[in-house]
Chains A and B, each alone.
Chain A
Amino acid sequence: MTEHLTPNQRAWRRFRRNRGATMAAALLLALVAIILIWPFFSSPSFASVVPAAMAHPPNKLSDAQFNPPNLQHWFGTDVLGRDLLSRVLYGARISLFVGLVGAAVSLVIGVLWGAIAGYCGGRWDGVMMRFVDILYSMPSIVFVIVLIAALNAVIGRLQTKGSPLSAGTIQMVQFAGLFAGLGAVSWLTMARIVRGQVLTLRRRAFVDASRVLGASHARILLRHILPNVYGVIIVYLTLTIPSIVLYESFLSYLGLGVQPPQASLGSLIANGAEQINSVRIYWWMIVFPGGMLALTLLALNFVGDGLRDAWDPRGDRAN
């Protein structure tokens, strides 16, 4: 009578019925599209077609410092006369990219750690989860600073010893440090969640069945147990991305994150906060990057909430 759906299909249906979440997902897609397309507008072949206000390159200096939003610069200009709209879109691209990669790093560490702890159980589980507990009780900012400092020192040493590194390489190493730092502090909750799920799954009959059939531990874990945890992992992953975007903006605010001339939403906000004085108010330098950050986080959180409601079995009862 009812058609047979896998849990994932059922969740997907429920997600699509959630109007707020689908709208947020559409907004997010539109945002990503704009962010990706925008840089092309400043290329010579496009610049003559689009309005001049859309064709400012993000790093081009000009004499128009601290212009409030106007027809030429829709978001105004910053301390060096750079067009804020293009800088916000450029910064959003880096923020989102860092958020995605950082979340992926935390996903890999967290899932592996949690799955192994949960699957092994017993003493190993105890030791591994105590380690997580101890890391939980330490402020994460210290870890991040140590990791970033270590990487900067590596860059410095390579710089003085061998041939000087190209700016591109340095940038890549700095990004790698940022990813490692952000990923390394945000995997703890993922590990706990996955471990809890695996712990209940490994006692189930289908796991015993495949063990009897002679499957290896790795095969059982990867083929039989983890696919049952995917839903939870995806849900938590979408909620990790905004928290990493937020953390990155905090690091950039400290001057530890993305280095100039690169910009992220956090460093743009920091630039705006530096210009606060009691004589003139440059509100656009905070409001636009901050608004972009808030909008992105809001959309990501909405999608994450929607996914969680869709996968949560309790959702059936509530609706």
Chain B
Amino acid sequence: MYFVRRILSLPLLLLLVSFLAFLLVRSMPGGPFDSERRPASPEIERNLRAKFHLDEPLLAQYGHYLKDLLHGDFGPSLKYRNHSVTDIIAEGLPVSLTLGFAAFCFAVGVGIPLGFYTAVHKGAWPDYVGSFAALAVICVPGLVIGPILVMFFAIKLRWFPVALWGSPWHAILPTLTLGLYFSGRVARLMREGMLATLHAEFIMTARSKGLGETAILIKHAFRIAALPVLSYSGPMLADLLTGSFVVENLFQIPGIGVFMVNSSLNRDYTMVVGLVLLYAALLLALNLAVDFAYALLDPRVRYD
């Protein structure tokens, strides 16, 4: 019942998000045709505005937009005028999805074992080294580690291509740049979850039953200890899958992360609202999935 209500409220939330995003971009000073290369005469600009309904009242414009949206059409891009927003997203999204998913796998694949290991060895030197590494990785943002990786592995050692997108070989440095930060976050969450779980009563019960330490850690503790990681993976995936400006800009990758920034700067209204909606839809859907998985994994969780 709870999940049915959540699912039914999704369209309403997305409607609110689209309205808010619409108001937000339209409240920006300046317009999408300010930086045209051709010197636009007032007539041309007036025609352009009429073509895209920009001369009508704001609510009427929103009505037009919604009508198109219900037909699955995000509208034309106001900046890249031969392309629709749907086209641009359809072209860039697969790239961002691939890169984001690779980075997610890296973050989880490195973060969970590291967090698990440091928690089990709490207070000993593997814990200090591992925990410090996890924190250090969080403190070195992509815009620092990316150029350093490029300079060292691509330019000096020539192991990997400097930029562009194509073979799996091209994906390694961007994946590292994007995923390292998140692997640190995952490791810290995993460690904390594990430490909290090891004090829980059901673990004491398992110990007093005489279960082996490995069985306790992996079969009983891990499932509950990974829950913080699970709830973080909703927003993390939404961030990763919609692309990262820094990584796409640095490695010249044709994803949609660059568009999120550039279309806001260009006042490409339809593009911004489309991308915001995409992000919101992804985040809300992922959070729903995470809560659903929560109920499956943790028998103590009950939604009514």
Using a CB–CB distance below 8 Å, which chain A residues touch chain B?
133-134, 136-139, 141-143, 145-146, 149-150, 153, 242, 246, 249-250, 253-254, 266, 269-270, 272-273, 276, 278, 281, 283, 286-287, 290, 293-295, 297-298, 301-302, 305, 314, 317-318
Contacts and interface: CB of A to CB of B under 8 A. Distances in A.
Given A149-B30, A297-B139, 10 more contacts: A142-B21, A145-B264, A149-B28, A242-B139, A249-B143, A273-B146, A293-B141, A295-B139, A301-B135, A302-B135
B28 A250 contact: no
B66 interface: no
B17 A290 contact: no
Interface string B224-257: 0000000000000000001001100010000000
B150 interface: yes
Contact of A269 (B143, B156, B272, B279): B143
14 contacts: A136-B283, A137-B280, A138-B21, A141-B245, A150-B28, A153-B29, A253-B246, A273-B146, A273-B250, A290-B140, A290-B144, A290-B145, A297-B139, A301-B138
B contact patch SS: helix
Contact of B25 (A142, A249, A287, A297): A142
Contacts of B16: 134
A246 B142 CA distance: 10
B147 interface: yes
Contacts of B30: 149, 153
A306 to B, nearest CB: 12
Contact of B17 (A137, A150, A295): A137
B28 A146 contact: yes
B50 interface: no
Given A242-B139, A269-B144, A270-B143, A254 B245 contact: yes
Contacts of A253: 143, 246
A12 B32 CA distance: 54
B90 interface: no
A294 B21 CA distance: 34
Q: Is the interface of A mostly helix, strand, loop or mixed?
A: helix
Nearest to A289: B144
B29 A276 contact: no
Interface residues of B, number: 46
B151 A250 contact: no
A269 B156 CA distance: 19
Contacts of A298: 135-136, 139
Contact of A138 (B143, B162, B280): B280
Given A272-B147, A281-B156, A138 B20 contact: yes
B139 A317 contact: no
Contacts of B145: 290
Contacts of B194: none
Contact of B260 (A142, A287, A317): A142
Contact of B265 (A137, A145, A246, A278): A145
B155 interface: yes
B212 to A, nearest CB: 24
Contacts of B69: none
Contacts of A246: 141
